[in-house]
Amino acid sequence: MAKISQYTEDNIRSLDWKEHIRMRPGMYIGKLGDGSSSDDGIYILIKEVLDNSVDEFVMGAGKTIEILVKENRVSIRDYGRGIPLGKVVDVVSKMNTGGKYDSRAFKKSVGLNGVGIKAVNALSGYFKVQSIRDDQTKIAEFELGNLISDEPNLASTLRKGTKITFVPDTGIFKKFIYRSEYVEKMIKNYVYLNKGLTIVFNGEKYSSENGLKDLLEEQINKESMQYPIIHLHDEDIEVAITHSKAQYSEDYHSFVNGQHTTQGGTHQNAFRAALVKTIRDFFGKNYDASDIRKSIVSAISIKVMEPIFESQTKTKLGSTEMGGGLPSVNVFINDFIRTKLDNYLHKNPDTAASIQRKIVQAERERKDLSGIRKLARERAKKVSLHNKKLRDCRVHLGDMKKEERLNSTLFITEGDSASGSITKSRNVKTQAVFSLRGKPLNSYGKTKKIVYENEEFNLLQAALNIEDGIENLRYNNIVIATDADVDGMHIRLLLITFFLQFFPELIKEGHLYILETPLFRVRDKKDTFYCYSESEKQTAIKKLRGKPEITRFKGLGEISPDEFKYFIGEDIRLEPVMLDKTMSIDEMLEFYMGKNTPERQGFIIDNLKVELDLIE
């Protein structure tokens, strides 16, 4: 019989605001991460400060926000109303304190609880707040949430507003770097949703004249559009819609009060339903919902009074009511789409005809694939019962914390030795392994039919649960783990081609990564260094006093499980797979997997030269 532990008054603790945030950071900013993913905590810190500055703009105060990110130091300056000087310290360090509780001062804002800025303060090694208003300025400084300097008000000729400066605590955020691509994407979303707002990021200006229409044009080039973007807007709602010629699944960008709700919610569900109903009514045909929405690329933004989100990170809307005397979210969005989209289609018959052709094409393809899909699902289900290709993790048993789900990872490996090493050294709670058999098929130019007919792709699709889109993606991080040689590079390219061809939203939403593993082990009797490049190897050699033993890892299978655990644990190095902003998906696929042009040859030579030199 298990021994019952003591439970007394001594076990009861009361934490102050900063202790709780630092003990349970995941409750406030989601996963911590190292900056390789757009939803890592260091970007949430920026977002929490930016939300307040954008709310100032929404309330008509301050048209410009300046952001400076230099190494690990972030400064954000707005020209809004400025925090009331007598409450500067309280606003950034006292829970249940803030202007968002007063709807007269902030209407339809994102930050309703005033928690975000306190989380930034508590999770920063250094935090400084400066408010300027009424020809005076107030400055306060903190370390780890503790007040270290509280200066008296001083006269000031500076423009009114607020400036926040912070450095994330390296004790919590370990090794991290800010990737400008992720900060830039966040900034673009803010300006798309707030016409008239200018954000200056490290000296570069961002603004938008056409709102969500600009957002879609950023996501999909004109050549890939089935028809010109449908752009509809009214007070408290804006929508942009088109269909893609290139992709298969649905692609949504949804927002509430300027907050990017990456996991959707009631507003996105209402939009999807309203779109189907309006299209059916317009054409007078009961088209299948999946055929109407197949290949759709769209964005929706609504403004809600006191929105209810499902977490502090505000990635999913839970509100069912618009507030302010308006009808429910469902009714509001359905009425808007029914009226505005129906009117648009009547006035633009060419677009209506293009949509109908797309639906009929999707219907035909679905029926052609129905038999193959059924057999493929049955085969995948049968194989999975005794399948060694997928070694799953416990996160899907339903008893894991939300932050552990955000860290769920699927490693895609090639070969028994590599998959065996990762399997033995992984974290069984959150890390799964999928083992490929040889090189994947080159899927460039192929139709979706190939996904179901090819066993490797079919089982990989089933493991990820993405047959009908990425809404129910089973792993937040998909990591390609291949050898750093010519064959490994080729496998990476083939897998990226597969995802680009059929599931580009996995890359767009930042789910796909390349695992970086050391090329060398340099050691003597006392110290061991794992080196990821030739320069790191030379640095390690200089640090050792005696003659070093140098091992070149030619493949992942040569790294023992005891060593591998260091490379997929806390210090894991992941390189995110990002889309080239200057090229469309079609252009990228053609460049990398099309005819072997001189440009492509040059790219391969330039980018593989270092690796090939090391291998030789």
Q: What's 430-468 look like in SS3?
A: CEEEEEECCCCCCCCCCCCHHHHHCHHHHHHHHHHCCCC
pLDDT, residue 608, reads 45
In terms of C-beta density within 10 A (0-12 exposed, 13-18 middle, 19 or more buried), how is residue 373 classed? middle
Residue 445 is encoded by which pair of tokens?
Answer: 């130019």
Of the listed ranges 159-173, 312-326, 424-438, the least confidently predicted one is: 312-326
Give the pTM: 0.78
Collapsing DSSP to helix, strand or coil, 126 comes out as strand
- Residue-wise pLDDT for 145-176, tens only, equals 999 999 999 999 999 999 999 999 999 998 89
Backbone angles phi, psi at 12, to 5 degrees: -90, 125
Average pLDDT, the chain: 84
Q: What is the pLDDT of residues 510-560, one digit of tens each?
A: 899 999 888 899 999 889 999 988 899 999 998 887 889 999 987 888 888
pLDDT of 383 above 90: no
**Residue 23 neighbours by CB distance under 10 Å:** 11
User: Could you tell me which of 610, 614, 613, 608 has the C-alpha nearest to residue 486?
Assistant: 608
**Is the CB of residue 194 less than 8 Å from the CB of residue 54?**
yes
- What does the block give as tokens for 300? 């929706």
**Residues 496-534, buried b or exposed e (16+ Cβ, 10 A)?**
bbbbbbbbbbbbbbbbbbbbbbbbbbbbeeeeebbbeee
In this prediction, residue 1 has a pLDDT band, given cuts at 50, 70 and 90, of very low
Domains of the chain: 17-206 (3.30.565.10), 212-365 (3.30.230.10), 387-517+553-615 (3.40.50.670)
The DSSP-derived string for 238-271 is: EEEEEEBSS--S-EEEEEETTEE-TT-BHHHHHH
Q: What is the pLDDT of residues 548-573, one digit of tens each?
A: 999 998 788 888 888 888 889 888 88
pLDDT grade, residue 218 (50/70/90)? Answer: confident
> Which uninterrupted H or E stretch holds 286?
none
Residue 29 buriedness (CB in 10 A; 0-12 / 13-18 / 19+): buried
pLDDT of residue 388: 62
Residue 230: its pLDDT value, please?
97
DSSP assignment letter at 100: G
Report yes or no: 520 and 531 within 8 Å, Cβ to Cβ: yes
Number of Cα atoms under 13 Å in the Cβ half of residue 442 = 8
Q: Quote the pLDDT of residue 203.
A: 95
Angle, to 10 degrees, between the axis of helix 349-385 and the axis of helix 329-347? 130
- Tell me the H-state helices in 298-348: 329-347
With the C-alpha atoms ordered 255, 576, 504, 452, is the resulting torsion angle positive or negative?
Answer: negative
| Spatial CB neighbours of 598, under 8 Å, sequence gap ≥ 6 | none
Q: How far apart are CA 420 and CA 435, in angstroms?
A: 9
Give the span between the Cα atoms of 56 and 54, in whole angstroms.
5
Res 346 pLDDT > 80: yes
| pLDDT on residue 311 | 63
CA 263, distance to chain mean position in Å, is 10
Q: Per-residue pLDDT tens for 255-291?
A: 988 888 878 888 999 999 999 999 999 999 999 999 9
How large is the average pLDDT for residues 343-356? 97
**HEC letters along 53-70:** HHHHHHCCCCCEEEEEEE
Phi and psi torsions of 522, nearest 5°: -120, 125
